[in-house]
DNA sequence: TTGAACTATGAAGTATACTGCATACTTGTG
DNA sequence: CACAAGTATGCAGTATACTTCATAGTTCAA
C-alpha cells in the first residue's frame, strides 16, 4: 500500500509520468476504504510489476498502447482465454522480431567496425 | 543512382518521411554533375543500406539521434578510429541490454500465460 | 498550529517523429 | 505541346509521450 511518492522512488519514474500513466489507464490505485477526507490513491505491488514491465517494453520500442494491451489483461478474468493468448502471442512474435533485428544490427555494426579497421590500417 | 520515388519504393518509406530524414541529415543525395536545370537529388546504394539500418534501429526503440550518430560515421574518415569505435561500442552495449530486456519480457509474458491457464482450469 | 511536504486536478507547453498542404518547377508520354 | 506524374520547398498540423505550471486541498512533524 504505497502512495505515489513511494511508487516513484521504487520505480524511478517521475510522479507526473505516473499520473500520466494512471490517466492513460496503465496503472490504477484505489482509495483507502473508510477514508473520505482525501482522494489519495494507494498502489500495491502489482503496480510496481506493471511499471517494471512498462519500462522494459518502452526501452525496446513498444508503444504505450501496445503495452497497455498486455498490462490490461494482467489481472483480468473478463475476456476469454483465447483473446488473452492472442494478445500475448502477438507480443511474443514482436519480441522475437525485435531480437532478430537487434542481432542484424549487431552484425551490421560489426561489419562497420571491420571496415573502419581495414581502411585505417 | 535512384530518385526519391524509387528510394521510397525500395525501402517502403514514404517520400515525405525520406525528405524529413534528408533534412535531419540521416541520408543525402546529390545532384547529377552537369545538370543545372533542376535540383533533383540522386541516391546511391549506401542510402538504402542506411535506411534499412534506420528501420531496424527504430523498431527496437533507438531514437533518430542515436541512429544518426552511427549512420554519420558510415562512410566517414574524418573522426578518429577511437571515436568511431566509442559510438559503435556504445550501441553494441545498448543492443545487448535491449536483447536482455526482450528476453525478460518473454519470460514475463510466459508467466502471464501460465497464470491465465491455471486460473481458468 | 503553522509551515513544509505531499496529494489531486486541469490545462498548457515541449520534444520527437512524422504527415499533409500549398506552391511551383521539371520531365516524360501520347 | 498538353498534361499527368515526378520533384523541391516551406510551413502548418498531428500523434505520442511526457513535462511544467497553477491552483487547491491534506497530512504530519516540531
For residue B68, name the pLDDT band (cuts at 50, 70, 90).
very high
The domain made up of A1-61 has a fold known as Multidrug-efflux Transporter Regulator; Chain: A; Domain 2 (1.10.1660)
Residue-range domain boundaries for chain B: 1-60, 77-121
pLDDT band at B34 (very low <50, low <70, confident <90, very high): confident
Q: pLDDT class for A82, splitting at 50, 70, 90?
A: confident
Cell 535512384 found at: B2
- Going through chain A in order, the beta strands assigned E by DSSP cover none
Q: Is the pLDDT of residue B37 over 80?
A: yes
In a mutational test of the B interface, the residue from A50, A51, A105, A106 whose CB has the highest number of chain B CBs within 10 Å is A105
Q: How far is Cα B71 from Cα B76, in angstroms, rounded to an integer?
A: 9
Interchain proximity B81–A106, CB inside 8 Å? no
Q: Verify whether the Cβ–Cβ distance B109 to A92 is below 8 Å.
A: yes
How would residue B120 be classed by pLDDT, with cut points 50, 70 and 90?
low
Question: Would you tell me which residues 10-49 of chain A have a C-beta closer than 8 angstroms to some C-beta of chain B?
Answer: none
Q: Return d(Cα B30, Cα A73) in angstroms, integer.
A: 51
**Cα of A84 to nearest chain B Cα, Å:** 8
Q: What CATH number is given for B1-60 in this structure?
A: 1.10.1660.10
Provide long-range contacts, Cβ within 8 A and 24+ apart, for A71-74. Answer: A71/A26, A72/A25, A73/B112, A73/B116, A74/A46, A74/A49, A74/A50, A74/B112
Model pLDDT for residues A18-61, shown as the tens digit of each residue: 999 999 999 999 998 877 789 999 999 999 999 999 999 999 99
Amino acid at each position: 500500500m504505497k502512495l505515489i511518492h513511494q511508487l516513484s522512488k521504487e520505480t524511478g519514474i517521475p510522479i507526473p509520468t505516473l499520473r500520466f500513466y494512471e490517466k492513460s489507464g496503465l496503472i490504477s490505485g484505489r482509495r483507502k476504504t473508510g477514508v473520505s477526507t482525501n482522494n489519495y490513491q494507494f498502489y500495491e505491488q502489482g503496480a510496481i510489476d506493471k511499471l517494471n514491465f512498462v519500462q522494459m517494453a518502452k526501452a525496446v520500442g513498444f508503444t504505450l498502447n501496445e503495452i497497455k494491451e498486455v498490462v490490461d489483461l494482467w489481472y483480468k478474468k473478463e475476456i476469454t482465454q483465447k483473446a488473452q493468448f492472442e494478445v500475448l502471442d502477438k507480443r511474443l512474435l514482436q519480441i522475437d522480431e525485435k531480437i532478430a533485428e537487434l542481432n542484424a544490427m549487431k552484425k551490421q555494426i560489426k561489419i562497420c567496425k571491420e571496415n573502419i579497421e581495414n581502411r585505417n590500417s
